[in-house]
């Protein structure tokens, strides 16, 4: 079986009602690797760790972080590159970017990292980028792993700018927050890109597990330079685009060549399936076959020079006299959309809270809790419910509660309803 990527598109309805008003259609796009040989997909890695060593990291947090850094170095081979930046009041290149020949020396440098001072994240990111951009013609996987436990003050915009610059260069970002003091809005914004992600680490003991998972993903690359382009037929609008597997996240397409809406997706890490959901607003439909849109996934398979493409045209018949409300929504589309609804409700709640509309924010959180309860997500629903109550009473959520909600919702994408489609 030739190795490649399979794409399957499932619309929320198999037939559209031919009506004179606008209607919504959802399109689930599922990607699965085929004929993939795991051993072939290990590509050279270029990893830059950017670690917060401010005084709040003292003790178990720093100890576990150094353990995790040593674990990463142990997993690397002489084909890989590694560098380590630490930041507190200033940033330091603890290990300059180099190929992993002498990992004993690297491990020693890691052990020497001490915690003190404040949190100046932008300087750390600047040094990371400076080191990473030294690479010439590196064809493997490039990634910055940022770990912080605190707020950075005054340089948030610069941090986002640097993250975007890295992403533009094809360097992915994994932004990790430990404990409950860090700024989830900042890390989430920095990671709001197709080839980046942010994660919440509840306590120091969980740090190593997250780094193990990161290495597992980095060591099995299905495709590189992935991007999704959507070409809409006249009158059709893309109202929303979301990643739904393995995480729930909103994606922001930009206008590309020929009017297509394009989202760069970076590397496909790990061999788990990927899923995307588009929300389309369709114009009035006369009866007959309707050409709605064309999707195009482009990617490069590991060790191949030329990019490949999978195209899919979505056409559906519009039929007169069809019930306006869809009664045959495929279960997997419904489930994906249910998770997206939970995401949208909590995002609306944070927006309302920022505007000072506490009552609206409370209602949105309550609605998100109800939706989660219907989905059988009892524990997350409970957190949302408690924070809704707190929001109504005090006008704000707890720092830890908000992180649990934001990252708990993101993780809904890992719950495996999509396995049947593999």
> Among positive and negative, which fits the CA dihedral 279, 280, 281, 284?
negative
340: its two tokens: 């997206």
Judged by CB under 8 A, does residue 24 bind another protein? yes
Q: How far is the CB of 370 from another protein (least distance, A)?
A: 5
Using the rule CB under 8 A, which residue among 37, 112, 327, 420 binds another protein?
327
Q: In the stretch 279-298, what mask flags binding to another protein with x, by CB under 8 A?
A: --xx----------------
Smaller CB separation from another protein, 110 or 342: 342
Interface region with another protein, contact rule CB under 8 A, candidates 85-93, 248-256, 312-320, 378-386 = 378-386
* Assigned token pair, 327: 């009664």
Min separation Cβ 374 and another protein, Å: 6
Query: Nearest approach, Cβ of 296 to another protein (angstroms)?
Result: 24
Do 17 and 286 form a contact (C-beta atoms < 8 A)? no
Could you tell me which stretch among 20-28, 58-66, 157-165, 206-214 binds another protein (CB under 8 A)?
Answer: 20-28
- Rounded to an integer, what distance in angstroms lies between the CA atom of residue 192 and that of residue 390? 28
Nearest approach, Cβ of 212 to another protein (angstroms)?
32
> Measured between alpha carbons, how far is 242 from 260 in angstroms, rounded to an integer?
17
Structure tokens at 283: 């114009």
Rule CB under 8 A: say whether 357 interacts with another protein.
Answer: no
Q: Is the Cβ of residue 8 or residue 334 nearer to another protein in the bound state? A: 334
Of 9-17, 114-122, 166-174, 259-267: span binding another protein (CB under 8 A): 9-17
324 near another protein, judged by CB under 8 A: yes
- Can residue 271 be called a binding residue for another protein (CB under 8 A)? no
The total number of residues shown for the chain amounts to: 422
Tokens in use for 108? Answer: 């020693």
Of 142 and 344, which has the nearer Cβ to another protein? Answer: 344
- Please identify which residue in 106, 269, 273, 337 interacts with another protein, judged by CB under 8 A: 337
Q: Is residue 233 a contact point for another protein (CB under 8 A)? A: no
26 sits near another protein (criterion: CB under 8 A): yes
Q: Is 45 exposed, middle or buried (0-12, 13-18, 19+ CB in 10 A)?
A: buried
Among 288, 374, 394, 395, binds another protein (CB under 8 A): 374
Q: Choose the stretch contacting another protein; rule: CB under 8 A; options: 19-27, 156-164, 204-212, 403-411.
A: 19-27
**At 308, which helix (H) or strand (E)?**
strand 308-319
> Residue 114 interacts with another protein (CB under 8 A)?
no
Other C-beta atoms lying within 10 Å of the C-beta of residue 411? 17
User: Can you tell me which of 392, 396, 415, 417 binds another protein, judged by CB under 8 A?
Assistant: 392
Q: Does 389 bind another protein (CB under 8 A)?
A: yes
What is the residue whose two structure tokens read 């590397």? 267
**Counting contacts by CB under 8 A, is residue 370 touching another protein?**
yes
| Interface residue with another protein, options 310, 329, 399, 400 (CB under 8 A) | 329
Determine whether 11 is exposed, middle or buried from the number of CB atoms within 10 Å of its CB (0-12, 13-18, 19+): buried
Q: Which residue has the tokens 């605190």?
A: 150
Locate 390 and state its tokens: 């707190």
Element (H, E) at 197: strand 197-201
**Binders of another protein: how many residues, by CB under 8 A?**
40
394 binds another protein (CB under 8 A): no
Residue from 137, 325, 419, 420 touching another protein (CB under 8 A): that is: 325
Closest CA to 265 of 255, 256, 274: 274
Nearest alpha carbon to residue 272 among 33, 82, 40: 33
- Alpha-carbon distance of 278 to 232, in angstroms, equals 12
Q: What are phi and psi of 324, to 5 degrees?
A: -70, -35
The answer to whether 26 and 278 have CB atoms below 8 angstroms apart is: yes
Interaction site with another protein (CB under 8 A): 12-13, 17, 19, 21-26, 281-282, 324-327, 329, 334, 337-338, 341-342, 344-345, 348, 359, 362-363, 367-368, 370-371, 373-374, 378, 382, 385-386, 389, 392
């Amino acid at each position: 079986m030739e190795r490649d990527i399979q794409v399957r598109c499932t619309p929320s309805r198999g037939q559209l009602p031919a009506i004179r008003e606008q209607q919504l259609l959802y399109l689930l796009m599922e990607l699965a690797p085929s004929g993939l040989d795991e051993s072939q997909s290990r590509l050279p890695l270029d990893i830059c760790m950017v670690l917060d060593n401010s005084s709040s990291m003292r003790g178990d947090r720093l100890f576990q972080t150094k353990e995790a850094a040593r674990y990463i170095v142990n997993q690397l081979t002489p084909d890989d590159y590694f560098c380590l930046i630490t930041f507190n009041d200033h940033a330091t290149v603890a290990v300059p970017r180099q190929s992993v020949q002498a990992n004993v020396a690297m491990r020693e440098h890691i052990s020497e990292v001490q915690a003190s001072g404040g949190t100046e994240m932008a300087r750390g990111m600047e040094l990371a980028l400076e080191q990473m951009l030294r690479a010439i013609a590196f064809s493997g996987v490039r990634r910055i792993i940022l770990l912080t436990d605190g707020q950075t003050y005054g340089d948030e915009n610069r941090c986002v700018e640097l993250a975007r610059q890295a992403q533009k260069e094809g360097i992915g970002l994994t932004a990790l927050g430990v404990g409950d003091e860090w700024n989830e809005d900042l890390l989430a914004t920095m990671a709001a890109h197709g080839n980046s992600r942010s994660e919440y680490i509840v306590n120091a003991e969980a740090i190593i597990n997250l780094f193990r998972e990161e290495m597992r993903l980095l060591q099995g690359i299905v495709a590189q330079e992935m991007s999704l382009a959507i070409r809409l037929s006249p009158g059709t609008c893309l109202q929303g685009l979301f990643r739904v597997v393995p995480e729930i996240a909103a994606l922001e397409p930009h206008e590309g060549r020929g009017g297509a809406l394009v989202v760069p997706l970076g590397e496909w890490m790990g061999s788990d399936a990927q899923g995307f959901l588009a929300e389309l607003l369709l114009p009035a439909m006369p009866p007959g076959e309707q050409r709605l849109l064309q999707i195009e996934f482009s990617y490069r398979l590991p060790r191949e020079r030329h990019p490949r493409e999978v195209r899919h045209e979505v056409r559906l018949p519009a039929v007169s006299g069809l019930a306006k409300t869809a009664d045959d929504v495929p279960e997997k589309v419904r489930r994906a959309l249910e998770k997206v609804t939970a995401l949208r409700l909590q995002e609306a709640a944070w927006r309302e809270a920022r505007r000072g509309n506490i009552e609206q924010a409370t209602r949105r959180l309550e609605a998100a809790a109800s939706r989660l309860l219907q989905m059988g997500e009892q524990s997350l629903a409970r957190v949302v419910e408690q924070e809704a109550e707190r929001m109504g009473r005090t006008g704000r959520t707890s720092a830890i509660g908000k992180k649990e909600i934001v990252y708990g919702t993101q993780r809904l994408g890992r719950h495996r309803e999509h396995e049947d489609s593999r």
